[in-house]
């Protein structure tokens, strides 16, 4: 019952925020553990046609890494920004996606680059507390929002670009 109420409130909020505008957001919400967050991300990645911008604090999900690499192989422009902790984390998927041809940047300008965001094709935003990890899907209490809204996607994309401008290229040191 709680999840249903949350979704209704989010849809009502989006409707109120967009009152008087022609842009209508579609929003889906997922909760972990075992609430389908990873599957929701994979479904959106599979539909990507042009761009995927990722900002990740913690990223060790093998299925999500594979989804990003597959998108890259389909010709999607996939780019990732990660927190500086990735340089010391041997279990991070940063090395996997980097070796798969996905450019990875490291945002070391902030104490923590704590974003958990994907922007797909300038129209979908994936965000929430959900880290892109197996633990987030299977053990943690986290949330994920999938928002289809071009204006919001533009704002997140602009933020991604601002962080990319001060980030440095990642080079894998772990296998």
Share of the chain above pLDDT 90, in %: 68
Rounded to two decimals, the pTM is 0.85
The CATH superfamily of 2-169 is: Endonuclease Chain A (3.30.870.10)
Alpha helices per DSSP H over the chain:
2-17, 37-47, 62-73, 94-99, 134-138, 150-165
> What are 55's two structure tokens?
């900002």
Please tell me the predicted confidence (pLDDT) of residue 91: 76
Mean pLDDT of the chain: 87
Domains of the chain, by residue range, sit at 2-169
Query: pLDDT tens across 106-138, in order?
Result: 999 888 889 999 999 999 999 999 999 899 999
Q: Which residues are catalytic?
A: 114, 116, 121
């Amino acid at each position: 019952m709680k999840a249903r109420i949350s979704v209704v409130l989010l849809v009502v909020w989006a409707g109120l925020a967009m009152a008087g505008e022609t842009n209508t957001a579609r929003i889906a919400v997922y909760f972990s553990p075992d609430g389908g967050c990873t599957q929701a991300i994979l479904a959106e990645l599979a539909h990507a046609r042009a761009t995927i911008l990722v900002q990740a604090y913690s990223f060790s999900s093998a299925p999500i890494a594979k989804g990003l690499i597959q998108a890259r192989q389909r010709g999607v422009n996939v780019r990732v920004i990660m927190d500086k902790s990735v340089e010391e984390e041997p279990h991070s998927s940063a090395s996997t996606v980097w070796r798969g041809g996905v450019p990875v940047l490291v945002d070391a300008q902030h104490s923590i680059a704590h974003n958990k965001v994907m922007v797909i094709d300038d129209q979908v935003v994936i965000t929430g507390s959900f880290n892109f990890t197996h633990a987030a899907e299977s053990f943690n209490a986290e949330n994920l929002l999938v928002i289809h809204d071009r204006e919001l996607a533009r704002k997140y994309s602009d933020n991604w670009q601002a962080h990319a401008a001060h980030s440095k290229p990642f080079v894998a040191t772990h296998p």
